[in-house]
Structure 1
Amino acid sequence: MNQATPLPAHPLTVAAVQAEPVPGDVAGNAATAARLVGRAAGARIAVLPELFLPAYHPPTLAADPTGTDLVAATDGLVDDPRLDPLRQAARGAGTTVVVGAAVRHLDGRRTISSLVVDTAGVARSAYDKQQLWGGERELFDAGRRGATLLVDGWRFGLGICYDGCFPEHGRAAAADGAHGYLCPSGYLAGSQHRRDLYYAARALDNTMYVVFANAVGGADPWRFNGGAAVYDPEGRPLARGADAGEDVLVATLDPAALAATRAAHTMLGDRPADDGRPRTVLAG
C-alpha cells in the first residue's frame, strides 16, 4: 500500500447492479442503466455489469461491431447520443456510473472497457480490460495499463471480470493506494463458486472494499448468474444478490472499518520488499 495515501474522511454509499441487457441494443440498455441508477438511491457510485451497453453476447459483438461499439476520442471522451438517458440520470442523481462498454479507439483498438459517466454527465472510457478471457481475444485488444477512479476522497482501482481472477491486478490497485476495487463482470451460469471466491479474496488480500456487478439472464451458452455483491475489507459480503433476477445492492463503505481492518491485518505493509520469488532447492 502507498503509505502516503490518506484514508477517506467520510463514508461513501455505493451500488452493485445485476441486470439483463438486450444484445446489440446500446440505446435501450443505456435507458435501462439510467433506470437502475435511479433505483440506487443516495449512491455516489453505481457499478453495472461488463459490456452492459452492448450486452455480453459474442455473436452480436462479432456480427455488428459498428452498432455495438462506442467511439472514444484521444482523451477518452465518448460523445454518443445513445448515452443521453444515462448522462441525465448520473447528473440528476449525483451518481458516478461505471458501466461496461465495447470501445473503439482512434488507433483502431477495440477494447472491453469501463465507461465512467460522472456527475456532470460526461462519459469517458476510463479503463480497458487487461486480462482477456477465452474467445474475447478474437474480438478485442487487451488494455495496456490500470486505472484509478477518485470520488469524494476515495480511491478505487478499476478491474473487469477476469482481471479479478489475478491477485496481482487487485494488488496493483492497492499499491496505488486504492481503498476499493470496482469490477463490472459477466459470470456464466455454473461459475457461482468462482464468482463468490475471487472477489471476496481480492478484498481480503488487499484489505479493501470490492464492488462486484454481474449480468443475469440470457440464453445458453450466454446465460449469466447474478450474485452482485459489495464486500468489506475482510471479504465478507455487505450485500449480495440472488443468482437470478434484476437487483440493485446498496451498501455504505466506512473509512473507520477500513482503518480497523488494515490495523488488524497488515499484509499490505508486511509484504517483502523484493519480488519474493522462490529459489530452487536441489534434492540429492
Structure 2
Amino acid sequence: MTPPATIPQAPLTVAAVQAEPVPGDVAGNAVIAARLVDRAADEHARVAVLPELFLPAYHPPTLAADPVGTDVAAAEDRTVVDPRLAPLTAAAVAGGLTVVVGAAVRHPDGRRTISSLVVDRAGVIHVGYDKQQLWGDERELFSPGTRGATLLVDDWRLGLGICYDGCFPEHARAAATDDAHGYLCPSGYLAGSEHRRDLYYRARALDNTLYVVFANSVGGVDPWRFNGGAAVHDPQGRTLARGADDGEDVLVVTLDPAELAATRAAHSMLADRLPDQGATRLALVG
C-alpha cells in the first residue's frame, strides 16, 4: 500500500483526561468536563479527550433505567443541541480547542449508540463517531456504529475509536490507512485490567506508527470501578505521559511531526504491508 502522503507541518498539543463522572448526571458531568477542558486550555492544548460515556457516566444500571435522561439527541445532520452541555461548549470556545467526549446518543431512527461527541472551536457539537465494537452487555443497550471517522484538527488527521475498538488491530489500522497521524480513544477500563489497558494502546501506536491518546474514567463502585491510566503514546509505542490508576488528571503532551516522520522513515510497516497479507496459506502436516 502507499504510505500516508503527508506529515503535519506544526506540532499539536493534546490533553488526555481521567476523571470520575456521576452516574446519570449529564448536566453536572458537563460542568466537570468544562473545568477539565479549562485546565487543558490553560496548558495550550488544541484537543482534549475525555473518557467513554463521560457525560452520562459508564454505569449500565443507570443507562438502562433512564435512557431519556442519560441520552443526548442527534439531529439528521449528526449535530447535537442540548442546553445541559452549555458549560462544555463555552469552555471549548473560550479555550479555542476541540473537545472529544463520550456520550450516549439517540439518533433520529431510534438507534442508541456509544459515541464520541466532537465539540468544535465554534461551540458546535457533532456526533463524531459511533463505537463499532460493543463489549459484553453493551450489546443489550446500544447498537454498533457502522463506519470509522477521522477528525481533522489543523493539519493533523486523528482517527477516532472508543475503548473496545482499540482491542482490534484492524480498527487503528483502518485509521492509519486513512492517513491518520494519531488515534484518539476515549475508554472505560475497569479495575483489574491494567495490563491490557496499557498494552493495547502502545501496540496500536507501534503497529501503525501513529500517536495514541487514551482517556479513561476513574473511581466508581465495583463492579463499575475504573482504573485511570490515561496516557499518550508516541509512534514507536513509547509512553510520553501516563496518569495514575486513580485520581483526576489532565495530561498535556505536544505531538511532534518530526518524530512522526522519523519513525515512519525508520519503521515502514505501513508502506511494506502486503495487500493480501496472509490471505493465501499453505496447509502443512507435521
* TM-score (norm. length: structure 2): 0.98
> 2:2, 2:217 → 1: CA distance?
33
**Equivalent AA in structure 2 for residue 273 of structure 1:** P
**Equivalent AA in structure 2 for residue 116 of structure 1:** V
Say if 1:2 and 1:174, in contact at 8 Å, map to a contact too.
Answer: no
Q: CA deviation at 1:283?
A: 1.9
Aligned pairs (5 A) from 1:190-205: 190-205=192-207
Who is 1:32 aligned against? 32
Structural RMSD (CA)? 1.0
Aligned pairs (5 A) from 1:46-85: 46-85=48-87
State the identity %.
77
> 1:160, 1:2 → 2: CA distance?
27
Structure 2 SS opposite 1:84: helix
Q: 1:188 aligns with which of 180, 187, 190?
A: 190
- After superposition, the Cα gap between the structure-2 partners of 1:82 and 1:67, relative to the gap in structure 1 and judged at 3 Å, is same
Residue 126, structure 1, aligned to residue 125, structure 2: no
Who is 1:19 aligned against? 19
Who is 1:7 aligned against? 7
Who is 1:170 aligned against? 172
Q: CA deviation at 1:276?
A: 2.4
Structure 1 SS opposite 2:175: helix
> 2:173, 2:270 → 1: CA distance?
9
Say if 1:241 and 1:247, in contact at 8 Å, map to a contact too.
Answer: yes
Who is 2:275 aligned against? 273
Q: Deviations over 1:183-232 (max 9, x none)?
A: 00000000000000000000000000000000000000000000000000
Structure 1 SS opposite 2:264: helix
> 1:86, 1:151 → 2: CA distance?
18
Q: CA deviation at 1:132?
A: 0.2
* TM-score (norm. length: structure 1): 0.98
**Equivalent AA in structure 1 for residue 124 of structure 2:** V
> 1:4, 1:45 → 2: CA distance?
22
> 1:73, 1:169 → 2: CA distance?
26
**Equivalent AA in structure 1 for residue 149 of structure 2:** A
Unaligned ranges ≥5, structure 2? none
Q: 1:230 aligns with which of 224, 229, 232?
A: 232
Structure 2 SS opposite 1:199: helix
> 2:270, 2:158 → 1: CA distance?
16
> 1:251, 1:2 → 2: CA distance?
29
Q: CA deviation at 1:33?
A: 0.2
Q: Deviations over 1:254-277 (max 9, x none)?
A: 000000000000000000022422
> 1:112, 1:79 → 2: CA distance?
17
Aligned pairs (5 A) from 1:99-178: 99-178=101-180
Q: Deviations over 1:235-261 (max 9, x none)?
A: 111110000000000000000000000
Unaligned ranges ≥5, structure 1? none
